[in-house]
Structure 1
Amino acid sequence: MSLLIGLDGSRIAKEKYTGTEHYSHIIFEHIFRVAPNHRYIIYAPKPSSKPLNTGNAQVEWKIIPFPRLWTQFRLSAEMLKDKNKLDVLFIPSHTIPLAHPNNTVVTVHDLGFKYYPEYYGKLETAYQNFGLKMATKNAKRIIAISEATKKDILKFSNFDSRKIDVIHHGVDQELFRPSEISEKPSRKISSNIPYIYTVGRLEAKKNTPELIKAFRILAERYNAPHKLVLAGKPGAHGYDQVQKALDELPPPLRKRVIMPGYVSNEENAEWLRFATCFAFVSGFEGFGMPILEAMGSGTPVVSSDKSSLPEVVGDAGLLVNHTRAEAIADGIRKILTDKKFSATLINKGRLRAKTFTWESAARKTIATLEQAAK
């Protein structure tokens, strides 16, 4: 049976990719790879900003520009024309258009706005609530990226639990790999070794201020020589608190905080390969993709013990109380000083990362789309 599957390509059209953009791009490529028997229409405001490998699949693009509120106005208008010919529509990031086929599947990544409304603002919180309501009232099936996200959907809606499929992300094993013995880091990285690394939006919601405080404890109390590399752009959810934590550092320590800004997937992979430790201490995540990328790169992980992160980490990383800089510092210090423990985490992490594949995620996603099309 060959289906005609509509794909919301708005995320892959964005210039800079973060979590949901990376997910949309890579799940599309792997869907095309594992299910070339189906036909696909990608609806997008402009072409993908990164090359999209469609393989042998039959893929049609519908480029439909619109300045603002593209999903609710422009995509909805297109759905009024196409919804009866599509067997199923796949929305890879939260928000279903007002007009849509009965057979619509949406991926819900996280419900952080329900737990941290103070970081979202009234307008964004309202839109996020609207997106959740649209998903739970109109989707034929929902993909949750973790058991934690599934529990939150059920907590904040009456959606049928039998129609929620938990499909974990994968990790690009070729890109996120350990460094070779003969491999030399680029100059920007070699000049900062040794370093503790994190990646993501720099904001209070991601707990960046506590990580900066933990870095100060490591440097001042334990004389750790490491730099702290904060990769990512300033976030909208509490960057002022990040700046405050940076401003409170003594000048010599402030110089040891490296902020390369937004990093591409390839740049992120190199930073990860040569890091002494990867610290991911966010208080809320739908999945925590960077943890798997660090594990695949052969870098030991210190992670928050909240939301979906223990689900991803398993026994292959060190879980800490993200609300206490002391606890974060203690966790990082154990990795920096206990070589045997660090080596154990590296080995366990590499094995765990191999169990999360995009091929598996794509096959499960296709199964969900086929189920919804019935």
Structure 2
Amino acid sequence: MKIGFEAKRVFRNFTGLGNYSRAVVRILATERPENAYVLYTPSQNQQIGSELVKAFPNVSVVEAPVKYLKSVWRMLSITKDLRRDHISIFHGLSNELPLTIRKSGIPSVVTIHDLIFLRYPQYYKFIDRKIYEYKFRKACENANRIIAISQQTKNDIVDLFKID
């Protein structure tokens, strides 16, 4: 099986979402070495994340083509790369999936860490809240499966997005 990951946080976040993302890839690459794991990222950071590629021959990286705006690639164009690479399933590790994932026919999973921007909107700029809400809601609507990291996150997805 060839598993693709939206891996921006693998290479960009030293804590939190980055730790979670690296742990998922590391554990899967260790426990299921028969699979291939492809990390799709706008760009690599050699300080973090690169150890996964060095440590595991079954882990590889695909970076955004230069000709695209990286955010457009992550949200729309990436599915062309997923099909080209014959990805069996795609996992959005940090709250997002490409908007075209369902149309691509590639099964998908998204991990939702929290919806704190909706629970405590006063701590977020209006535009940020609207962007997060759109991306997170679309990811939940388009995913074949949703991983909520806590019971509270699950409750929020059900209550706020009306997704069960």
Q: TM-score under structure 2 normalisation?
A: 0.83
Closer, same or farther: CA 66–106 of 1 in aligned 2, 3 Å: farther
Greater C-alpha radius of gyration = 1
> Mapping of 1:268-287 within 5 angstroms?
none
Q: How many Å apart are 1:86 and its aligned residue?
A: 1.5
Match for residue 146 of structure 2? 142
Give 1:52's aligned residue.
51
**Distance in structure 2 (CA, Å) of the matches to 1:38 and 1:116:** 40
Does residue 1:10 correspond to 2:8, yes or no?
yes
Q: How far is the alpha carbon of 1:68 from its aligned partner?
A: 9.4
Shift in Å, 1:56: 4.5
Indicate conservation of the 8 Å contact 1:6/1:40, yes or no: yes
CA distance in 2, matches of 1:21, 1:56: 18
Give the aligned partner of residue 99 of structure 1.
100
TM alignment of 1:230-241, pairs within 5 A: none
The yes-or-no answer on 1:120 pairing with 2:150 is: no
Report the equivalent of 1:88: 89
Match of 2:20 in 1: 23
Partner secondary structure for residue 51 of structure 2:
coil
Per the TM alignment, residue 91 of structure 1 is displaced from its structure 2 partner at its CA by: 0.7
Q: Which residue is 1:78 aligned to?
A: 78
Q: Which moved more, 1:60-69 or 1:102-111?
A: 60-69
Q: Which amino acid aligns with 1:96?
A: L
CA distance 1:99–1:152, shift in 2 (3 Å):
same
> Aligned in 2, Cα 1:111/1:66: closer, same or farther, shift over 3 Å?
farther
1:7 maps to a residue whose letter is F
Q: Is the 8 A contact 1:13 1:45 kept in 2?
A: no
Q: Say what the alpha-carbon RMSD is for the aligned residues.
A: 2.3
Aligned residue pairs total: 156
Alpha carbons 1:136, 1:158 under 8 Å: kept: no
Query: What amino acid does structure 2 have at the position aligned with 1:152?
Result: D
Could you tell me how far apart the structure 2 residues matched to 1:21 and 1:62 are? Answer: 17
C-alpha separation in 1, matches of 2:29 and 2:94: 18
- Secondary structure of 1:25's match? helix
Residues 78, 98 of structure 2: 8 Å contact kept: no
Instruction: Give secondary structure in 2 for the equivalent of 1:83.
Output: helix
Answer yes or no: is the 8 Å Cα contact 2:6–2:97 preserved in 1: no
Note the C-alpha offset of 1:37. 1.1
Q: Which amino acid aligns with 1:123?
A: I
> Aligned partners of 1:96, 1:129: CA distance in 2, in Å?
13
Write the letter of the residue equivalent to 1:97: P
Q: Map 1:170-319 onto structure 2 (within 5 A).
A: none
- Aligned match of 2:137 in 112, 133, 136? 133
Relative distance call for 1:66 and 1:126 in structure 2 (3 A) is farther
Counterpart AA for 1:44: T
Cα deviation, 1:30-71, whole Å, max 9, x if unaligned, reads 111111111121111222431423545522211225699734
Distance 1:136 1:66 in 2: 29
* Overall identity of the aligned pairs, in %: 27
Which is bigger in relative contact order (C-alpha 8 A, separation at least 6)? 2
Structure 1 unaligned runs (5+)?
A: 161-374
TM-score normalized with structure 1 length:
0.39
